[in-house]
């Protein structure tokens, strides 16, 4: 049976930290579905189409990664994608309690397990929020995002 993990997030933008989690997650599962959640309460810097395109270009040669968007509960979308796991990453202890609570609710709702990977130390300072702030002020973000294939 194919082991599929859903990696949900807004990915606005997709950072080197996200890239690292996917790379390491592929060592544990057969396929990862990077899933961009549509959240009308959050104002995105990049449009949904731009985010989908950026991530698809990053993984254009990786057959074990799919990129999708969804507008539902994450566990419902995981079931739709045939995912038996949810992949999440945490940078600090501050992230832990939130992720644990969500994992507990998801397991109770659907039985789906969440596995958490700790962010590599060299990426703990990188967040989409910080990258968006740098963009707003015209700073070079190339060291914070994965290389996007042309």
Which domains, from first to last, does the chain contain?
4-136 (3.40.50.620)
149 pLDDT more than 80: no
Q: What is the pLDDT of residue 113?
A: 96
**Percentage of the chain surpassing pLDDT 70?**
99
Q: What is the pLDDT of residue 102?
A: 95
148 pLDDT more than 90: no
Q: What is the pLDDT of residue 39?
A: 78
Q: What is the pLDDT of residue 98?
A: 92
Q: What is the pLDDT of residue 57?
A: 96
Helix (H) or strand (E) segment spanning residue 85: strand 85-90
Q: CA-CA distances (angstroms) from residue 136 to 36, 57, 130, 132, 146?
A: 22, 23, 10, 6, 19
150 pLDDT more than 70: no
- pLDDT tens digits for range 37-60: 997 777 899 999 999 999 999 999
Q: What is the pLDDT of residue 94?
A: 86
Instruction: For residues 45 and 60, give the distance between their C-alpha atoms in angstroms, rounded to a whole number.
Output: 23
Tokens of 120: 């590599």
Whole-model pTM above 0.85?
A: yes
Average pLDDT (6-32) is 97
- pLDDT tens digits for range 66-98: 999 999 999 999 999 999 999 999 998 888 999
């Amino acid at each position: 049976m194919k082991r599929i993990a859903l990696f949900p997030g807004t990915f606005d933008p997709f950072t080197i930290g996200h890239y690292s989690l996917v790379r390491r997650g592929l060592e544990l599962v057969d396929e990862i579905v990077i899933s961009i959640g549509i959240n009308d309460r959050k104002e995105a810097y990049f449009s949904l189409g731009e985010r989908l395109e950026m991530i698809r270009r990053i993984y254009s040669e990786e057959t074990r990664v799919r990129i999708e968007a969804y507008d539902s509960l994450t566990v419902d979308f995981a079931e739709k994608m045939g995912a038996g796991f949810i992949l999440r990453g945490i940078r600090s202890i501050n992230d832990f309690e939130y992720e644990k609570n969500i994992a507990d609710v998801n397991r109770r709702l659907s039985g789906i397990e969440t596995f958490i990977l700790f962010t590599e130390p060299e990426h703990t300072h990188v967040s989409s929020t910080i990258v968006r702030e740098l963009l707003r002020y015209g700073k070079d973000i190339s060291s914070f995002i994965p290389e996007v294939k042309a």
